[in-house]
Amino acid sequence: MEVIPGAVLFLLFLWFSFWVGGAMDCAGNNIVHTITVDQQGKGEFTTVQAAIDSIMKFNNRWVKLHINAGTYTEKVEISEYKPCIFLEGAGKEVTTIRSSGYHSTSTIKSSVKNRNENTGAIFVSFPPNVIVIGITFENSFNLMGSQPIQPAPAAAIYGDKSVFLECGFKSYQDTLFDELGRHYFKNCYIQGEVDFIYGGGQSYYEACTINATQEKPSSTGFVTAQSRYSEKDTSGFVFRTGSVTGSGEVNLGRAWGPYSRVIFYGTYFSSIVSPQGWNAWNYRGQESKLTYAEVDCTGPGANTTERVQWRKNLTNSQLNEFSLSSYINKDGWLSNLPIKF
């Protein structure tokens, strides 16, 4: 094996560091190139993955993929070496990326620290600076009556500064793997029943519709399974306005980490929300470390008289820490994107 001189390694390190730093803001908010994807051949590519593959590695300028209406039967992955990608569909009702896949429960639940695990997700995004608008991601594995039910993510998000506007995520168990980095979801539709928003992301969900699809009336589902692992861990899920509706009965969350953190603020809860609301799962006896809170929520499911006693009551100053600007946007990155909210 040829040994690379130390000076060369140092130069490579400087170059990579410079590239990462430059990619963090994609050199501003200008789109330098647009690629059209169309199933009927009216664009440069007929599949989304082929269009992504055409983008050079270490891309550091915004490239938009405009995806025309249609159902694209494929799995899509954005490499960690391809930041600054903007996927624009024609609307979540008419642009869908759909396929079927699953992973074993033991694979995902026993290896949460392994960021490159195979989640079976239909859409996987690794790099920072990714924008997605107007697309539905659907994992059809559990939606086709497949038995037994398996974890089957529609999407897995690992990259910092990722934005999803007016998108859809459909599956049954483990729908949205919100795993790593700061993420902003707005006006999205998220459908599932078991741990269907899960992971260790630091994420803000604004005006999102959460739809529980109970299959077995005798069981109780879980909207979230957040995996915060230490007191210093910045991760957590904040839901601002929006709604939790559907059929059957669901808990708002269960702990997938000893410091799990989920906050609902001003959210409408239909009667499907269970009276107890929350579940410590494998962390019974450690409930004081969990941060589960409901603030100014409304609807028949917002009655907290029978909630678990260890649910947190946040002060105004604590609540301010979880505003959009304070929680995920202290450096103002949301204002430096090629979109307007």
Reduce the secondary structure of 71-124 to three states and give it as a string.
EEECCEEECCCCCCEEEEECCCCCEEEEECCCCCHHHHHCCCCCCCCCCCCCEE
Contacts of 201 (CB under 8 A, 6+ apart): 157, 178, 179, 180, 181, 182, 183, 235, 237
Q: How many other CB atoms are found less than 10 A from the CB of residue 320? A: 12
SS3 247: strand
Token code pair at residue 85: 């990608």
Q: How many other CB atoms are found less than 10 A from the CB of residue 118? A: 13
Low-confidence ranges of the chain (pLDDT < 70): 1-24, 104-119, 144-147, 215-218
Query: In the sheet that 291-295 helps form, which strands lie side by side, from edge to edge?
Result: 31-37, 62-67, 85-89, 130-133, 162-165, 182-186, 202-206, 236-240, 261-265, 291-295
Q: Cα–Cα distance between 155 and 171 in angstroms, integer?
A: 10
SS3 244: strand
Q: Cα–Cα distance between 132 and 134 in angstroms, integer?
A: 7
Contacts of 329 (CB under 8 A, 6+ apart): 182, 184, 335
pLDDT of residue 11: 40
Instruction: Kindly report whether the global pTM for this prediction surpasses the value 0.85.
Output: yes
* Digit-coded pLDDT (tens) for 41-89: 999 999 999 999 999 999 999 999 999 999 999 999 999 999 999 999 9
- CATH fold label, 193-331+333-337: Pectate Lyase C-like (2.160.20)
| Domain residue spans of the chain | 193-331+333-337
pLDDT of residue 158: 96
Amino acid identity for residue 60 in this structure: N
| C-alpha angle 142-108-127 in degrees, rounded to nearest 5 | 95
Q: Cα–Cα distance between 220 and 276 in angstroms, integer?
A: 11
Secondary structure letter of residue 170 according to DSSP: E
pLDDT of residue 49: 98
Which burial class, exposed, middle or buried, applies to 145 when counting CB atoms under 10 A from its CB (0-12, 13-18, 19+)? exposed
* Digit-coded pLDDT (tens) for 21-45: 444 689 999 999 999 999 999 999 9
| C-alpha angle 143-148-150 in degrees, rounded to nearest 5 | 65
Q: How many other CB atoms are found less than 10 A from the CB of residue 284? A: 9
Nearest residue to 202 via CA among 179, 169, 219, 231: 179
Q: Cα–Cα distance between 341 and 324 in angstroms, integer?
A: 13
Determine contact, residues 179/148, Cβ cutoff 8 Å: no
pLDDT of residue 174: 93
pLDDT of residue 341: 81
Token code pair at residue 161: 């500064």
pLDDT of residue 300: 98
For the annotated catalytic residues, the residue numbers are 174, 195
Q: Cα–Cα distance between 37 and 19 in angstroms, integer?
A: 28
Amino acid identity for residue 156 in this structure: A
